[in-house]
């Protein structure tokens, strides 16, 4: 086993450990506006984690794979539904003048939901396809 192979092995382990730490330390609730500076950067005292990089030789004919799931599994769908429900309730909490139907409420909250999803690092957004996947009513015209 050469030294290069050993370094690649350690780099792979480091990346895997970093991903596990990132997964388990992700916030279970959206970041509040109080924790962000005016420019959207984390406030003082926030910890920044920088991934470790390694030099890797890649052949010219190597193919780049795309790991895209067309349909998330049941557990992921439930997680997304719970997240949308939580953000939806945050949007409408304390509001007295609400639309009469859930579909209209969801339509009004959609921009807020998508902003919050982006703020917490979710890659998906609430659109007609996501609404159908989550069993939510489509956007009204």
Render pLDDT for 69-118 as a digit per residue (tens, 0 to 9). Answer: 467 889 999 999 999 999 999 999 988 888 999 999 999 999 999 999 99
DSSP state letter for 33 = G
- Copy the structure tokens of residue 124: 């998906």
Question: Phi/psi of residue 36, each to 5°?
Answer: -110, 140
What torsion do the CA atoms of 49, 34, 105, 120 make, to the nearest 10 degrees? 0
Q: List, for residues 56-70, the tens digit of each pLDDT value.
A: 565 555 555 544 546
Q: Give the span between the Cα atoms of 113 and 124, in whole angstroms.
A: 11
CA distances from 81 to 85, 126, 134, 135 (A): 6, 10, 6, 9
CB atoms inside a 10 Å sphere around CB 77:
15
**Reported confidence tier of residue 13, pLDDT bands at 50, 70, 90:** confident
User: Among residues 22, 15, 29, which one has the least CA distance to residue 48?
Assistant: 22
**Cβ atoms 11, 52 nearer than 8 A:** yes
Q: Where are the domains of the chain?
A: 1-57, 70-141
Please say if the pLDDT value at position 21 is more than 90. no
**Cβ atoms 18, 51 nearer than 8 A:** yes
């Amino acid at each position: 086993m050469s030294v290069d192979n050993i370094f690649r092995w350690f780099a792979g382990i480091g990346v895997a450990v970093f991903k596990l730490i990132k997964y388990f330390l992700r916030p279970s609730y959206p970041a509040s506006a109080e924790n962000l500076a005016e420019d959207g950067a984390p406030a003082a005292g926030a910890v920044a984690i920088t991934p470790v990089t390694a030099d890797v030789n890649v052949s010219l004919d190597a193919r780049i794979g795309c790991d895209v799931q067309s349909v998330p599994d049941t557990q992921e769908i439930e997680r997304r539904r719970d997240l949308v429900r939580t953000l939806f309730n945050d949007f409408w909490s304390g509001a007295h003048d609400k639309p009469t139907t859930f579909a209209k409420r969801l339509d009004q909250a959609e921009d807020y939901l998508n902003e919050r999803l982006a703020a917490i690092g979710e890659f998906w957004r609430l659109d007609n396809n996501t609404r159908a996947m989550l069993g939510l009513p489509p956007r009204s015209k």
